[in-house]
A and B are shown apart, each in its own frame.
Chain A
Amino acid sequence: MDYIAQGLIRSIELLLAGDPETYSAIFTTLRISTLSIIISLAIGIPLGFLLGYFEFPGKRQVRAFVDTLLALPTVVVGLFVYAFISRRGPLGELGLLFTIPGIAVAQTILITPIVISLTATAIESLDRRLQATLVTLGARGRQILITSLMEARYAVLVAAVTAYGRAISEVGISMMIGGNIKWHTRTITTAIALETGKGDFAVGMALGIVLLTLALAVNSSLTLLKKRS
């Protein structure tokens, strides 16, 4: 029991003392997940809109496919991306292995389906009359896209937050693609894996608490946004 209490105390110590290793892992995590969320939102929101807005043959199959990708295991993404970006692989020349952009690319593959699927659901659940009204009022192309997304903004935000949560909490990709290199690609989750491997449960738990705090911060900012408008 002792070491659980120790973990809690240690986590507060690490954070208050500004332990450079801990903060390096925190910032690396934020940097990677930020990159991957920006890219996946840029790709996922328009695609999700198209999928939710238009009726086309094979739509159900596409939807089923995207929903299947929600269950993508991180180690599978890690393995495939490794095969591609290893110096022996087809994209080896880019030198992405063991770098932050490398992890971000793999995480983007992991979380874009979440953004697409949840955005599509959000658009589908809009009042059908909105579309008719917009068209009658003379809205075209991008105007329809933006207005629909504005109407569905909370649901789209939920998509973003869910995707972000998946990105900051995954460990398989960060470990396989990042390699857990100290000061460079060591994220909170890989650091936890390492500290547990070293038998240093206190530091591992401390980092776990940091991760939970981050998740809480993201979620409460969402709640705050909802309340304000």
Chain B
Amino acid sequence: MGREGRLVVRMTWKKICVAACVLVCLIGFSGNAAVADDVLKMATTTSTDNTGLLDYLAPAFKADTGIELQWVSVGTGKALALGKNCDVDVLLVHAPASEIKFVQEGSGVDRTELMYNDFIIIGPPSDPAGIKGTSVKDALGVIAAKKASFASRGDNSGTHKKELELWKHAQLVVPDKETWYIQTGQGMLNTINIAAERDAYTMTDRGTFIKYESNWKGNPPLVILVEGDASLRNQYSALAINPKKCSNVKYDLAKQFIAWMASAKAQKFIGDFKLMDKQLFTPNAK
């Protein structure tokens, strides 16, 4: 390559570099740079997000209050930890015992019960352990005695906490190290999928199960075996992060969100939210 040739190469390189930089900057800094007016950050559980409930409620909330709701969906354990670290403004979770502890510690305020559904135990239709229609206590007893595969969330989520409570209730040791006890460490739908692959039983909230049914167009590989026990109630509540502990949280917005969720209008929205013609959550704000 002669000297002139090299010069030309250099020129094209320069041009390419400049063009690339311009393009990159355009992509990098364009778009919805408009800063949202009022943003409320919420940590919530996988069930409210996976079922699509929040996608359905957030636009209505924005229309009424002008507040944009942004949420991260994690297990209830992590949601509470994010709250404790002042990383979010409000929580929507379902582990009453942990929530009450959270309030007593002074991390949360204004705990308000909003809605409930219930937990169910599902499993393969062949029901190898024969738990169909029994009580929760008996079902867990039989599963443990027969060493039937059981998938657990194992992630400190609300559902996981509930499951641990039920083992305790049935006066059984949590089968932590048993080979038939599969701790997935993942979200509810993932755990159901794992249970389906392994022909295992698992416990889920009804909302997520209906979503699962609708994914399978009403013909899921796992079916409901135990339901309706009083101990299976699943209460969802909202909590604001204590502004005295976290000075930078948007407490006024959090308060507005909780009030809106408990309002007659939002409660009706929640009751009307259906998948496959089935109601997922029952509103019960006082």
Which chain A residues have a beta carbon within 8 Å of chain B's beta carbons?
A: 27, 30-31, 34-35, 37-38, 86-88, 92, 95, 97-98, 150, 153, 179-184, 196-200, 225, 228-229
Instruction: Confirm or deny: B31 has a beta carbon within 8 angstroms of a beta carbon on chain A.
Output: yes
Residues of A within 8 A of B10 (CB): 150
Chain B binding site: helix, strand, loop or mixed by DSSP? Answer: helix
Q: Known pairs A197-B50, A200-B215. 18 more at Cβ < 8 A?
A: A27-B27, A27-B31, A30-B28, A31-B28, A31-B29, A35-B28, A87-B85, A87-B86, A87-B87, A88-B86, A97-B87, A98-B41, A180-B72, A196-B190, A197-B190, A198-B189, A198-B211, A199-B212
Residues of A within 8 A of B192 (CB): 199
Cα distance A30–B24 in the bound complex, in angstroms: 9
Cα distance A22–B87 in the bound complex, in angstroms: 27
Within the complex, the shortest CB–CB distance from B224 to chain A, in Å, comes to 17
Q: Which residue of B lies closest to A83 (CB)?
A: B85
Instruction: Confirm or deny: B187 has a beta carbon within 8 angstroms of a beta carbon on chain A.
Output: yes
18 A-B pairs whose Cβ atoms sit less than 8 Å apart in the complex? A27-B27, A31-B29, A35-B28, A87-B86, A87-B246, A88-B85, A95-B248, A98-B70, A98-B72, A150-B10, A150-B13, A181-B72, A183-B32, A184-B70, A199-B193, A199-B211, A199-B212, A199-B215
Which chain B residues have a beta carbon within 8 Å of chain A's beta carbons?
A: 9-10, 12-13, 16, 24, 27-29, 31-32, 41, 46, 50, 55, 70-73, 85-87, 186-187, 189-190, 192-193, 211-212, 215, 246, 248
Within the complex, the shortest CB–CB distance from A111 to chain B, in Å, comes to 15
Residues of A within 8 A of B193 (CB): 199
Residues of B within 8 A of A182 (CB): 55, 70
Residues of B within 8 A of A88 (CB): 85-87
Residues of B within 8 A of A27 (CB): 27, 31
Cα distance A31–B248 in the bound complex, in angstroms: 27
